[in-house]
Structure 1
Amino acid sequence: MSLTSAGPPALEVSFTDDPKVVKEAATEDYSNHVVPRSWRSGRWSLAMAWWALFSAMFWLYVAVAAADAVGTPATIVGMVLTVATFGVVNLVLSRYAARTGLTVALLSRRLFGMLGSALAPLIFAATALYYAVFEGSIVAVAFQQYFGGAIEIWYLVVVAYALPLVIGGVRTWLDKLNGVLLPLYVVGLVAVVIAATVQRGYPQDWLQSAAPSGPLPGWLTAYLIYMGVYIMMMYTVDYARFGRAEDQKFHGTVTFGWVFYAFTFAVNGLIGIYLLRAWDIAGTETGVVTAFVRSLGFAGVLVIFVSQTRINTANYYLASTNLDAFATRVLRLRLPRAVWTVVAGVLAYLFMLTDVLSYLLRALAWQGVFVTAWVAIAMVHIAVRGADRDGLPEFRPRRLKPVTAGAGAWLAASAVGIVLTEQSASPVLAQLAPLITVAVAAGLYYAALVTAPGAVRPAGEDPRDEVEDIWEARIRCHSCDRSYVAVEMDRDPNAGGAAVCSACAADSTAPAGATAPAGR
């Protein structure tokens, strides 16, 4: 059917933020919408929120694990290469996210189609949740070592106190919280190094410690170990979408770029190696906790508390936003993000009650395969097909196919990575699985872009063509009765062509191009 000659209903346009949307954004943070420029964070506000990830004890642990495997000199080389790689990739991703205002879930629609994209927020949420479990367990172990008591009770405590901190969004609370706690963590790092040196003396060989040679060069093995945390690049997209256009250079270099990773990977990593060598502690998951507590006593417990509070604000925040995106898209279940924060906390606590460390690394390895493939595909897409129109990738539901060839490339590359990771015939191939996954994902997705049918399909009238500035004009959605920037608005054939926001359009099952009589 076609629209009557009168055409689609007129748009209800405004040029200020809808008060109802602003009120929701204080906690929802536009989880299922494009972030308008009016909701972007100041330079230091966003930097403080993001630098919560600097203080994870995991960075100390992973460096010690690498040093135990290949020796400190090779680990340092691997760190330098990792800092350079993460700096370049996140420079690109942070600028792209700031320019488009899209989450991982919304960008994945363009990469994989509406159905194919559903897996991305699920993988993202699960990985963030696992890291929340790891970091929360570190705090619980520190409390138990110092105060005693049942570990199950401490697990409950660390989950319960973290959840209220995550209810507020990035610009309304997390930036302020982490800005206050950052100096405390830095002072704690300096103090623990000094205390360990005073008590144990300077470990003379900590920079020269070697390890048995393996089938691959040590520096390459260390580099591959750090590829296991490519989830940070997905984290970057969901945070950098709050960046202002004029701050892209700063964020690409300092907030999300090489400066951040020099401190996060190199400084944290070297401190971790130093502490465990000073105390002659094996590089286990709880070894870092033991080194802090032995060095500083109760003050060490406080440093761990501060560090893990900071990192878990990011973990629970991203777990909740992506659980929200997954449930909204797949289950058609729309609930406040606060509810998903509680769900994330309950899941984290249940995981902690199991022998989580026995399967955590295996789970992260599998999820890491999907993540590294996603990163490779996103980079290829930005380089080859960065924008469809208006400087943006198409992400509006009616204008995308359900599944694209890109989804096939993602699944195929991930399958290759998992098979290589799990096979035992060739340890070398198992170690090289992350690099091979990246290469396969990039190659398959490039081939899909240049040979497969396009993912974008025509869908009739476009509200973007009816306003002068798609970033300043707000258009009211007929379904939710809220106004969002024209960037994300479309026409709904099930409502006579009335305007509909991206989130409400995702609930529609109408095929692209279908129209309904005006006034329906």
Structure 2
Amino acid sequence: MSTARTYPAPDIIYHDEPEVLREAAAEDFSLHIVPPSWRSSRFSLSMAWFGLMSAMFWVVVGSMVALTVGTINTLIGIALSTIVYGILCGIAARFAARSGTSVALFSRAVFGQVGATFAALLFGVTITYYAIAEGSIVAIALQDYFGGPISLWYFIVCLYSAPLVMRGVRTWLDRINGILLPLYVFGLVACVIWATAKHGYSGAWLTQMPVGGVDAGVPGWWFAFTVYMGVWVVVMMTWDVARFGRKEDAPFNGRITFGIPFYVVTLLINGAVGMFITFTIPIEGALSETSAIIGIVALMGPFGVLLVWASQTRINTINFYLSSTNMQNFFARAFKISWPRTVWVGIMTVVIFLVMLTDVFGYLLLTLQFQGVIIVAWVGVAMTHIAWCGLRGIRADQLEFRPGRVPLVNPGGLGAWVIASATGCLMMVFGGSFGGVWAPPVTLGIAVVIYAASLMVAQRNWFVEERPGDPRKEVDDPWQARIRCHHCHQAYIAHEMDRDPSAGHEPICLACASDRSEFLVAARAEARTSSGNLSMEELVRQ
């Protein structure tokens, strides 16, 4: 635990300062590594995350797939998705908690700074689309029951949603979602009972056959499975929420909170309820997310409105939160615009409202299909990297994500992501129904194969730019010791700190290092003069 003589001695403390905690109450360390002192308990984290469980999307998508390939095929596809989702999200949750990284920071380690910037944009835009869709559902339910122009209800939904996410996961999202959870559970059970009492029960819904088959040359269950592959953005959502979990809780959270039991309820039970409601409640016209919501409101009246409001408000707290944090990350990294997360909540709320005024459902699903393919490629590279780390004995907390110590581009990671994504998108455009079904799995396979092959010939400088003077090595415990940043004058854990060669090698925090061009230029110049061509074996040893 020694500091180089030529470097200024760091100001080290072992507690969070009041100003840092006040900022964290709203910012949630969105541009920093979450310190152990700010991690959430198992219960608190689960209450925040379980908002995803209540999205009406899961109820409706199961019924829509069933109309295409039949109930049995859909249930098989959902069951397989439940297992895959649980495995992928469990792995992501454990790695996120142990590394402390967000999607943007992890992407920096795997794709380089350029790729990480695009990852934050992709994630932010995709989640914004989901916020638009889920918010529109609430507005449609309110208009159907109370009347009035839909634009007014769009405005009201956005107006009440924004304040709910002004504070972070640990200080508010867990509480609001915990309060609304009983309303959702009771409402969904009541809907099933109500529909049965009014329209009677028939087991025919379990064997419902499609009106027409899928012209893609694949079994119906495989079609259903690939539909759910298009929503693997949930893996990214898992990552950004799971980083707030305590390291010692990572095994439990990986298995339960973000694992297979959670998806049994989220995918399988919600999907089954959606199928039952679809084939029990008469709905005029073709089934869509809109008509299904109207059917629930028509069946339950004000209680249906309450159910829709509770379910969509829960999921949109997560959507609005992740939209604001990732757009904050993107603009901070790409354009050096370092506005607080609360400002980005306001900006994204305005964007969401304006897009709601357009023909949302006319283009939303097509857009999400293409974004889904790109996200599948990201998941493929991410899971391959985690597996490689496990095989090479590289711990999650050894991940290098500091902007002055990672290259602009990691050719292996970014190359695999771009090639796989481009292939998948081309299949979507030119492959017809066959391409639509096979684009996600083909994209996944290409991403995994290319990145795995690149790791066999990878150089250390793909992942790390060697520079002297690492603050992590200047303290006894980089996760507990805080070092004061010379630029913002706040103290953050040493694990995220660096030395600023543009300012006499004073300590600098992760957020300031990412935003200051003079630091980035000086750091790259210093890296070029350092002996950095170490092997991958040396990466493992360090």
Bigger CA drift: 330-339 or 387-396?
Answer: 387-396
Tell me by how many angstroms 1:390 deviates.
7.8
Partner of 2:436: 430
Q: Structure 2 CA distance, aligned partners of 1:509 and 1:154?
A: 46
Q: Structure 2 CA distance, aligned partners of 1:390 and 1:161?
A: 38
Correspondence 1:356 to 2:360? yes
Tell me by how many angstroms 1:376 deviates.
0.8
Question: 5 Å matches for 1:121-520?
Answer: 121-211=120-210, 212-214=212-214, 215-281=217-283, 282-385=286-389, 391-405=397-411, 406-424=413-431, 426-453=432-459, 454-507=462-515, 508-512=519-523, 514=525
Partner of 2:534: none
Preserved contact between residue 57 and residue 288 of structure 1 (Cα < 8 Å): no
Report the residue type matching 1:509 in the other structure: L
Report the residue type matching 2:24 in the other structure: A
Tell me by how many angstroms 1:117 deviates.
1.1
Q: Structure 2 CA distance, aligned partners of 1:499 and 1:390?
A: 23
Tell me by how many angstroms 1:217 deviates.
0.2
Report the residue type matching 1:226 in the other structure: Y
Tell me by how many angstroms 1:167 deviates.
0.4
Tell me by how many angstroms 1:388 deviates.
5.7
Residue aligned with 1:491, SS: strand
Q: Structure 1 CA distance, aligned partners of 2:151 and 2:213?
A: 40
Provide TM-score, normalisation by structure 1. Answer: 0.96
Q: Structure 1 CA distance, aligned partners of 2:342 and 2:524?
A: 36
Preserved contact between residue 18 and residue 484 of structure 1 (Cα < 8 Å): no
Tell me by how many angstroms 1:6 deviates.
4.2
Preserved contact between residue 99 and residue 396 of structure 2 (Cα < 8 Å): no
Q: Structure 2 CA distance, aligned partners of 1:504 and 1:442?
A: 34
Query: What is the percentage of aligned positions where both structures have the same residue?
Result: 47
User: CA deviation digits over 1:167-220, x for unaligned, max 9?
Assistant: 010010010111111011000001111111111111331110012333210000
Q: Structure 2 CA distance, aligned partners of 1:419 and 1:187?
A: 44
Preserved contact between residue 95 and residue 396 of structure 2 (Cα < 8 Å): no
Provide TM-score, normalisation by structure 2. Answer: 0.92
User: CA deviation digits over 1:111-154, x for unaligned, max 9?
Assistant: 11112210011111111111111111111110111111100111
Tell me by how many angstroms 1:412 deviates.
1.2
User: CA deviation digits over 1:332-389, x for unaligned, max 9?
Assistant: 0011111101111111111111111111011101111111111111100011036767
Report the residue type matching 1:289 in the other structure: I
Preserved contact between residue 403 and residue 520 of structure 2 (Cα < 8 Å): no
Tell me by how many angstroms 1:252 deviates.
1.1
Partner of 2:532: none
Report the residue type matching 1:485 in the other structure: I
Preserved contact between residue 60 and residue 288 of structure 1 (Cα < 8 Å): no
User: CA deviation digits over 1:224-263, x for unaligned, max 9?
Assistant: 0001110100000000001012222221122111111110
Q: Structure 2 CA distance, aligned partners of 1:482 and 1:390?
A: 26
Structure 1's 227 and 111: CA in aligned 2 closer, same or farther, altered over 3 A? same
In structure 2, runs of 5+ residues without a counterpart are 528-542
Preserved contact between residue 203 and residue 277 of structure 1 (Cα < 8 Å): no
Q: Structure 1 CA distance, aligned partners of 2:17 and 2:448?
A: 41
Tell me by how many angstroms 1:509 deviates.
2.7
Q: Structure 1 CA distance, aligned partners of 2:110 and 2:358?
A: 36
What is the RMSD of the two structures over their aligned residues, measured on CA atoms?
1.6
Q: Structure 2 CA distance, aligned partners of 1:349 and 1:513?
A: 42
Bigger CA drift: 255-264 or 502-511?
Answer: 502-511
Q: Structure 1 CA distance, aligned partners of 2:294 and 2:337?
A: 43
Partner of 2:530: none
Q: Structure 2 CA distance, aligned partners of 1:255 and 1:388?
A: 25
Q: Structure 2 CA distance, aligned partners of 1:220 and 1:390?
A: 34
Q: Structure 2 CA distance, aligned partners of 1:62 and 1:114?
A: 36
Preserved contact between residue 151 and residue 357 of structure 2 (Cα < 8 Å): yes
Q: Structure 2 CA distance, aligned partners of 1:37 and 1:59?
A: 33
Residue aligned with 2:397, SS: coil
